[in-house]
Amino acid sequence: MSILHIVILLLTYVTRTGDVRRFILALYRFGRLYVPCMRPTVDHIRVHSVPCKTFIKGDMCSYDDLIKQECFSFAYPHQIWRMITVSFLHSNWLHLVSNLSAQLIQGIPIERKHGTPYTLVIYWLSGMGASLVGLIRLGSEGAVGASGCLHGLMLFFIMDRLSALKAKHGYDRVFIILQLVFLLLPYVVTSAALIIQHRVVHDAHVGGAFVGFLLGIHAFGLPLFCICKNDDIYQKIFRRLAIVLLILYFLMIVVVFLQIDAPIVDRILYSGIISNGTIDYQYFE
């Protein structure tokens, strides 16, 4: 799964800088996480007249028409697939390399131990949890990247290693600690560089990590909780509680997402700029 996903990431890599071909830009706009394409806008804004994206000066359209055009109209305004396709798009090479390195470091060990189907469940559930939180936070800005999925994998991987740490002794424990340090350090460094250089939706990272954490508790119990004769009973309780919390978490963020209206895209709503007493009708990309 990891190798296949890396190939897909490379094939669908897009960039917003430099000379971008039209179909690449269309791919980016069709797949990014973008709330105005996924939730309806309030009625009085939808019918608001704005300058059309045409060469005819003074030609007017509705706000909803331009948003629909930007979203490619298909299934507008309920383009839920963006919660999945966002994971295949990246803003630049640093973003892409950061995510690929994390997927190699964490995804391959998890996949070899737990199998491809289970790894896919962790990956995409974490991505869905991250996307839903990101949608509530984003506003009118778009987002790309698979960091939410990878934060889920990271927390699951940490829970797996902590569980192994509890069962091992002596040099085996030292090896697991070194494994945690050396496998996670490159990801921490690249993530720090990414945070410094670009705006990051930290809420989505937390959402994905929380899903991975709960899935880790369900799989391994709560590592390092206690070593006593009743430990198995407590761990069963923790595993069941983790699933309950996971279901409640998704229900809560889905309900919140369905209650929100699409944010107003100012560059479309206010695309008529007053200059020297006249209105210059221009659509800003």
User: What is the model's pLDDT at position 240?
Assistant: 93
Give the span between the Cα atoms of 151 and 207, in whole angstroms: 9
User: What is the model's pLDDT at position 171?
Assistant: 63
Asked, for residue 246, whether it belongs to a domain, the answer is yes
Q: Which helix H or strand E contains 275, and what residues bound it?
A: strand 272-275
User: What is the model's pLDDT at position 283?
Assistant: 24
User: What is the model's pLDDT at position 73?
Assistant: 74
Asked, for residue 27, whether it belongs to a domain, the answer is yes
Asked, for residue 282, whether it belongs to a domain, the answer is no
Number of structural domains the chain divides into? 1
Neighbours of 269 (CB within 10 A): 16
Asked, for residue 164, whether it belongs to a domain, the answer is yes
- The CATH number of residue 191's host domain is 1.20.1540.10
103 to 91, 106, 123, 125, 212: CA distances (angstroms) = 17, 5, 10, 15, 14
| Residues whose CB is less than 8 angstroms from the CB of residue 104 and which lie 6 or more positions away in sequence, other chains included | 2, 6
Owning domain of residue 13:
2-269
pLDDT, tens digit only, all 285 positions of the chain: 555 555 555 555 544 444 456 667 777 888 888 888 888 888 888 887 877 765 455 577 888 888 888 887 778 888 888 988 888 888 777 778 878 888 888 888 899 999 989 999 999 999 999 999 888 877 777 888 888 999 999 999 989 988 888 776 666 777 778 878 877 776 666 666 556 555 667 788 889 999 999 999 999 888 765 556 667 788 888 899 999 999 999 999 999 888 888 888 877 766 543 333 332 322 222
User: What is the model's pLDDT at position 284?
Assistant: 25
Q: Which two tokens stand for residue 5?
A: 């996903």
Asked, for residue 222, whether it belongs to a domain, the answer is yes
Asked, for residue 285, whether it belongs to a domain, the answer is no
| Residues whose CB is less than 8 angstroms from the CB of residue 211 and which lie 6 or more positions away in sequence, other chains included | 125, 126, 128, 129, 130, 152, 246, 249
Asked, for residue 122, whether it belongs to a domain, the answer is yes
Asked, for residue 47, whether it belongs to a domain, the answer is yes
